[in-house]
Chain A
Amino acid sequence: MQAMIPSSYRIQKFIKETQDTFTIELKSIESKNGFTFEPGQFNMIYIYGIGEIPISISGDPNKSGILTHTTRAVGIVTKEMAKLKKGDIVGIRGPFGRPWPVREAVGNDIVIVAGGIGLAPLRPVIYHVLENREYYGRIILLYGARTPQDILFRKELEKFRSRLDIDIIVTVDRAIKGWTGNVGVVTTLIPRAPFDPINTIAMICGPEIMMRYTIIELIKRGLGKDKIYVTMERNMKCGIGFCGHCQYGTEFICKDGPVFSYKEIEHLFGKREL
């Protein structure tokens, strides 16, 4: 099974993002063709002799030469990943999964709502819409982090904001000295966010509870359930629908998702232990 065989990538750059998150930039050792993917897709990353986990791609879909992943050091594999440095080698299988609806969203306003590390799978969307700016209406990013020190891609967010054709609103759960921005959960930003609910596509990534309340607020603003997209997370061992681990009701998150419209999974969403 070719899809089960990883190929080697070398780390070009290791970036420590925050206290517990980091980004690796990779280049293929075996192929010169680069790596093409669509925003929202993920790879299975193999740390030699340790294990393999699914991580979404966080880089620019228009730059196929470099493959970028951002993650948090929480489990056995990611903690080992956090020790990697420039020149080290990892195995990659992918890309897998259904992407964010960036094509369907053409002509619409786009609201991106991210919580914590949930910004990583959405960053390719930001790159994509900014590179194809003329095809989209207003672009709004609502981002919530735990504290000001946990704000992911901070320098880049500041740079994006200086473009003037994207609204970026950041909030933190807990402020620290010197923080003059918003305080509170990300859902509090939705009622006043400047988008036209009739022609808007929303893309959400964060903890399930955050996504649930975000959906409620977006529906209150008048967004249709088919216009709201979320990305789901479950245990995955294969990425291609064979291992059974990522089943979510009728869906295999690896191949039917990870991106779903809320309409598709409304009957499953929020059900306990599903």
Chain B
Amino acid sequence: MKQISPDQLKDLIQGLQYRGYITIGPTLQNGAIVYSEILDINDLPIGITDSQKPGHYRTTQTNSNAIFNYVVGTQSIKRFLYPPIQKIFSAKFTEKKIEIQELDKPSQRYAFIGIRACELEALKIHDTIFSKSEFKNSRYTTLRHNSLFIAVNCSKAEKNCFCTSMNTGPEVKYDYDLLLTEINKNERHYFLLEVGSEKGEDIINEFDFSDADESEINEKYKVIEKTKSQIEKFLETDGVKESLLQSFESPVWDDIAKKCLACGNCTMVCPTCFCMTVEDYTDLERNSAERIQKWDSCYTLEFTYIHGGSVRVSVGSRYRQWLTHKFATWQEQFGTFGCVGCGRCITWCPVGIDVTEETTKIKKLSQLQTTSLEEL
């Protein structure tokens, strides 16, 4: 383990840029933490902290010089590896055929700075979907393969974090190239730096960073323990899958539907949601056409449209699809939960619907239904 100063972090970021990486990190935009291209350490949200509750998100400027003193921003890095709007091809219509112009292989190399344990876990879930199934999303696979991941151990938790329940955080344990832990104590501000891959090793070798001593290393575990102790939200995941699969006809869905606006915010901020739709555009004379792939949401009525109408008409059925997918059917499809406990869907829900509460409610109800009267 190394220890580096903020100035050395600045050098590290520059080093990545020299190597041709597009450096992506947290920035403050319109009052929210947003992943965006950064040119310098000063683009990072220095002294910014956030507060998150159901349906609530605020950032505030503090006197601290801490850089990563927030939990998770509006969106994960999904938008870089799996862009919200992406051309699939352009086409020209001739008498002889439809001439398809495919997109070039993506050449950009991203270095993601400041990504959290839950976001790395979401990345792993996308790897399973896009790179390990029968068909492959080659753009995602290429971009992801060419990227560098500089993770950060969370130094605080917010009210919507439930990563400990999902077994995804707050400690970053694997799948990183480099790992930072920010220490800001006794007037001393520095970062512990760990190497998690050959790629990371290769970068660090260019620098003359000094090793961390034992007391500094101990600080890392103190940070993680402190963060863990701040987590207030829990979801008992045992039996959730079975309960949800038994609850297709539960009255809970109608209750949620009374609150849910079917706005789709939760699906847009979710780091694992991967649904998309395809749209075709033409010029006015129909000489050239483009096919675009766009993030889609299972909360829209059009999502299930087939001749004659949509399958999921009621809002309750759409919420059921989303929640059941995240916590039950996802496991059958991809072997994991579709949730990493980042809490974004709770924060950005305009009416503050809490997945952990709703899931627990459904579980309790379903278990009551299968319990005999004597046991009650």
Q: What is A's interface to B at a CB cutoff of 8 Å? A: 1, 3-8, 29-30, 46, 48-52, 72, 74-75, 78, 89, 91, 233-235, 237-238, 240-245, 247, 249-250, 252, 255, 267, 271-274
Contacts and interface: CB of A to CB of B under 8 A. Distances in A.
Nearest to B331: A250
Interface centre among A238, A243, A245, A271 (most CB of B within 10 A): A245
The 9 closest A-B pairs by CB, nearest first: A244-B275, A273-B317, A49-B282, A8-B97, A250-B332, A240-B135, A74-B307, A49-B289, A250-B329
A72 B307 CA distance: 10
A41 B149 CA distance: 41
A6 B100 contact: yes
B366 to A, nearest CB: 15
A1 to B, nearest CB: 5
A247 B325 contact: yes
Contact of B102 (A5, A29, A243): A5
Contacts of B275: 243-245
B98 to A, nearest CB: 5
A30 B99 CA distance: 11
B61 interface: no
A249 B329 CA distance: 6
A246 B282 CA distance: 26
- Report the interface size class on chain B: 35 or more
Nearest to B96: A29
A99 to B, nearest CB: 15
A89 B94 CA distance: 9
B313 A273 contact: yes
Contacts of B133: 241
Contacts of A3: 135
B134 interface: yes
A255 B311 contact: no
Interface stretch (B29-37, B111-119, B207-215, B297-305): B297-305
A1 B325 contact: no
Nearest to B277: A237
A250 B100 contact: no
A135 to B, nearest CB: 29
B93 interface: yes
A52 B14 CA distance: 46
A2 to B, nearest CB: 8
A35 B168 CA distance: 46
Interface in B333-348: 333
A271 B306 CA distance: 17
A234 B97 contact: no
Interface in B269-298: 274-278, 280, 282, 286, 289, 291, 296, 298
A233 B275 CA distance: 18
Interface of B: prevailing SS: mixed
B220 interface: no
Given A51-B280, A244-B274, A274-B248, A234 B311 contact: yes
Contacts of A7: 100
B304 A48 contact: no
A242 B304 CA distance: 15
Interface stretch (B136-144, B180-188, B230-238, B350-358): B136-144
A97 to B, nearest CB: 12
A245 B296 CA distance: 9
A20 B139 CA distance: 41
A241 B280 CA distance: 20
A49 B286 contact: yes
Contacts of A48: 91, 93, 98, 286, 289
Nearest to B306: A235
B98 A8 contact: yes
B311 A274 contact: yes
A250 B304 contact: no
B306 A234 contact: yes
A30 to B, nearest CB: 7
B321 interface: yes
Given A237-B276, A273-B314, A244 B298 contact: yes
A242 B294 CA distance: 12
B304 A245 contact: yes
A7 B96 CA distance: 12
Nearest to A233: B306
A238 B86 CA distance: 14
B21 interface: no
B249 interface: yes
A156 B314 CA distance: 42
Contacts of B248: 271, 274
Contacts of A244: 274-276, 296, 298
Given A5-B100, A89-B97, A245-B296, A238 B289 contact: no
Given A243-B276, A247-B321, A247-B329, A1 B136 contact: yes
B312 interface: yes
B296 A243 contact: yes
Nearest to A117: B307
Given A237-B296, A244-B274, 4 more contacts: A1-B136, A29-B96, A235-B306, A252-B333
